[in-house]
Structure 1
Amino acid sequence: MGRGHQNGKNRAKNSKTLPQTPKNLKSDGVDVEFNKELADRDDLEAMARANAADQRANNRQK
């Protein structure tokens, strides 16, 4: 094999130092206030799909 292919040792080092999501793109977990009056059609459609998915998930659990 070529250089740097010794049993995945280099890969293990990189996976520890290079996270999947950069720190500046991670969410802080704070929810954003939603105002229905300012929502556009895409927002309302997304809400309807999310509610339908929640109902399907709740029905599976029962």
Structure 2
Amino acid sequence: MLDDLKNQLAVTIKAYQSEGKPVPDQLWEQGIYIFEIENALRENDEVKFEYYMEQLLGGGTLIA
């Protein structure tokens, strides 16, 4: 799932860049969130994972 998101994000960023348009900050932020989610998974840090997943999904509250 994360690999698909990373690939789609990369394609979108490259499209902006190839058209000479500035990449919106939101896209860079999404990349950071994905990076941090991957780190949390490697570190087995559930709190960090949940926080960055929540941010990636729009900053709302996750309901378990």
| Shorter-chain TM-score above 0.5 | no
More helix by share: 2
- Where on the TM-score scale, by shorter chain, does this alignment land: which range? 0.3 to 0.5
- When normalised by structure 2's length, the TM-score is 0.37
Structure with higher Rg: it is: 1
- When normalised by structure 1's length, the TM-score is 0.38
